[in-house]
Amino acid sequence: MVGATTHRRMQLDDLSIFYRDAGPPEAPVLLLPHGYPCSSFQFRQLMPALADRWRTIALDWPGFGYSSTPDLTAFGYDFDAYADVLAKLADAFGLERYALWLHDYGSQIGLRHAISYPDRVTALIIQNGDIYEDVLGPKYAVIKAWWADKTPDKHRPLEAAVSEDGFRAEFIGEVADDVAMRVPPDLWKLHWPLMDTPVRRQVAVDLMEKLEANLAWFPRYQAYLRAHHPPTLFVWGPEDGYMPAASARAYHRDLPDAELYLIDRAGHWLLETHFDDALPLIREFLARVHA
């Protein structure tokens, strides 16, 4: 069936990785690393919508979705460890050239991968992924408060965010009510039970903590963009307290020719709320730069 998405597993060393795969095996590939607090489920609409001309592959990171959850002593659960998983997945598929989708934590992971393998990356599509410290949005205030004062009181909001209510707030807490109604509750109702284990809750909190060390990578990400100028499309939801419109526009410092679309009234999860606005932009871009 044309456009059908298959759901499979692969073994990468000691990791059991769940992934979704759509499109002809010989077609140009778009890799879809996911963000927080979600899984490959976030790409369930996009993958079949591109499958007539492109192959799309989306995985669940270790500790998320349907992938395995090694003990905290057996896997790093940081952006370097996840970038290593992405490289191993690409190698397992025998991929030599592909485009990358960058969103949320996936942008930190994907750009580390691009720095290591610049000759593989044909193009970038960036959906709300931040790499400029001076334009981080106001919602970073809670995390910054803990960075500045590592006390239990400052840490509790991070812990509280890793909950069903916290996930719900991430998905619908910033957009207007009529936009929020487009977001299916499955995103938190189905995902939270998968995340509600001691190790997975700790992983999610730890990743928020590790954003502080990740700031040191921001200049390296920017240097990669300046050095390689990958063809880049931005489809961005400006109603985002972590990554507002200024976070998108900042990329033009290093990619002045990149295509930037701020989708009106969309937020961090625009593929849920403004899919029909984003899809033509994505298809037209891929047809020009990743055929």
Residues 3-51: tens digit of each pLDDT: 689 999 999 999 999 999 999 999 999 999 999 999 999 999 999 999 9
pTM of the model: 0.97
CATH code of 83's domain = 3.40.50.1820
Domain assignment present for 15? yes
Q: How many CB atoms lie within 10 A of CB 110?
A: 26
Could you read off the pLDDT of 133-170 as tens digits, one per residue? 999 999 999 999 999 999 999 999 999 999 999 999 99
Residue 114 lies in a domain: yes
| Domain assignment of residue 38, given as a range | 5-137+216-289
Within a domain: 86: yes
Residue 145 resides in a domain? no
Task: Flag whether 133 is in a domain.
Answer: yes
The conformation of residue 250, written as its DSSP 8-state character, comes to G
- pLDDT tens, N- to C-terminus, the chain (291 residues): 556 899 999 999 999 999 999 999 999 999 999 999 999 999 999 999 999 999 999 999 999 999 999 999 999 999 999 999 999 999 999 999 999 999 999 999 999 999 999 999 999 999 999 999 999 999 999 999 999 999 999 999 999 999 999 999 999 999 999 999 999 999 999 999 999 999 999 999 999 999 999 999 999 999 999 999 999 999 999 999 999 999 999 999 999 999 999 999 999 999 999 999 999 999 999 999 987
Question: Total structural domains in the chain?
Answer: 1
Averaged pLDDT of the chain: 97
- 188 in a domain, yes or no? no
* Whole-number Å distance between alpha carbons of 239 and 212: 23
Q: What pLDDT, on a 0 to 100 scale, did the predictor assign at position 1?
A: 52
User: Rounded to whole angstroms, how far apart are CA atoms 85 and 249?
Assistant: 30
Concatenate the DSSP letters of all residues of 69-93 into one string.
Answer: ---TTTS--SHHHHHHHHHHHHHHT
Please choose, from the candidates 194, 288, 290, 171, the residue with its C-alpha nearest in 3D space to the C-alpha of residue 240.
Answer: 171
pLDDT (0 to 100) of residue 291: 76
In a domain, 264, yes or no: yes
Task: Provide CB contacts within 8 A for 91, sequence distance 6+.
Answer: none
**153 within a domain of the structure (yes/no):** no
DSSP state of 244: -
